[in-house]
Chains A and B, each alone.
Chain A
Amino acid sequence: MKKIWAWGALLFGILYFTLPLVGMTNFSLKMRRGEYSFDAYAKVFGDPRFQETFTYSVTQALFTIVFGVLLVVPTAYWIRLKLPGLRPYVEFVTLLPLVIPAIVIVFGYIRLYNTSSWLPLTGSAFGTNILLMFGYATLALPYMYRAVDTGLRTIDVATLTEAAQSLGAGWATILARIILPNVLVAVLSGAFLTFAIVIGEFTMAALLNRPAFGPYMQLLGANRAYEPAALAVIAFGITWGCLGLIQLVSRFQKSAPPKA
């Protein structure tokens, strides 16, 4: 009786989650009339706009990751070490991007950093790229911070720091040589998740008018029939890849021998 109910719930889940995936895959292969083909994929990959926007988004993602790591790791470390009383507040702030819609945040950017403001970031393509990168870092902040903070929880930050200081290490050395390697898996998890978020992000890129992958997909979807399905399959593959990598690195950590 209980088992039937459990299998029922699982079956519903499997059906609900597989059908759209089957649907998009099926659709993406049907460009040629009457037979399955990879024409839609060939079209997508051959499109120079695809290559440009995809490269742009990958670049943005990489910069976002680097910036995010540089911002979050020292901060999370410092708060654990010196300002533990501040942790609940910082945690609250890092969760805000889950609550304030991205569209509201980017609207604020547009009004705050327009050409006539004190910091006219949207005045140039370069400035806008930077602004978009900051926006992505904001969106990824909840995930990045949580991942790193969880990673730091598993190591004794204070003891490691004191040990390193007693051996004469400075702050930069401690962070780069002691703390970062110890939370590397957490940082990588946050990084892959950031990548998955940035690569398909639409709202911020569209409203800041940057040639990113998300707006490209939307544009294609409005004008074409089969290529969007192919894009969806590709995007799903990328997401799956990122999450798969997270699993991989965390498994690697589990199987690694405990440090003495």
Chain B
Amino acid sequence: MSFLSLTNIKKSFGPVQVVHDFNMGIEKGEFVSFLGPSGCGKTTILRMIAGFETPSGGSIFIDGKDQGALKPNQRNIGMVFQAYALFPNMNVHDNVAFGLKVAGTSKTDIDIRVKQMLGLIKLEHLADRFPYQLSGGQQQRVALARALAVKPQVLLLDEPLSALDAKIRISLREEIRQIQQQLGITTVFVTHDQEEALSISDRIVVMNAGRADQIGTPFEIYNTPATRFVASFVGTLNIIEAKVADPAAGSITIGNQPVTLREPIAGLNGGDTISLALRPEAGSIAEGAKGDASISGEVVSTSFLGSVIRTRLRVGSDIISFDMFNNPGIIPPASGENVTLRFAAKDLLVIRE
């Protein structure tokens, strides 16, 4: 059994079922992200692990112990909330000390541990500040230290970065990942930001309407999305609607232009519609670009994103984006220009609905 195992978890609020038969095992020391839009059930699962919600069915085991009968304060779990949730009436030191204090730890031990935790988040100098005197990023680091001070078995992070500025969001997520690896603590992270999930997770669970659409490493999730939802939610994949020409030969048409896939198409007939995914970085319009497939289209727009230039092509009724790396010598295609995009046929992924 995994360190944290969720078996057949269900949850309904009244007539609405928000989590359907969820199964997952999380290994000790693993960093797992739950990714999905709001209302997909990711936060509900987190709150069930914490014990704030009781599952309507199924069981939660941590380190072999059934958590079903345990109240939140008996579970030894650390949690960081989206809105920091620091106690406003306590200074940084007392906030971090709170869990130790209610556990009856001696004052000397508390002071040692608090110092250690503040060292971990590099805020030793702010021990006497009250929460209102801290920036959002500082508050969230204190919240992290508070959660970790009691040496929890599992750390739960409920969208801890979404209230912060973009810049701090990135530096803090790196800090969280680094501390997590340093302590080797099993962590569940809930977010709606795919970049966040991709950048710090060992594994990602993409949630959709109360179910896990796909569980896999960031690499798998991004490169081989299992469903159309995963493909559209993670990254900026192009979803192309194509028509099947000859299923056995793997030939299709995109906006009347023929393209041949690497494999035959199972379960579809000629004339059926098929969804395909193409990563924006998989194609190129440069002279002599490699690729065994190509489509032509009209340039709709070009946007400069810093390190890359993203161009949108109209092919039939589809819009296909592709990225090229910026370099000063490049001349971006102009709107209205007709260009040919070359790519490897193996990069064209068939998407299940």
Say if the two chains contact directly (CB < 8 Å).
no
Residues of B within 8 A of A (CB): none
Residues of A within 8 A of B (CB): none
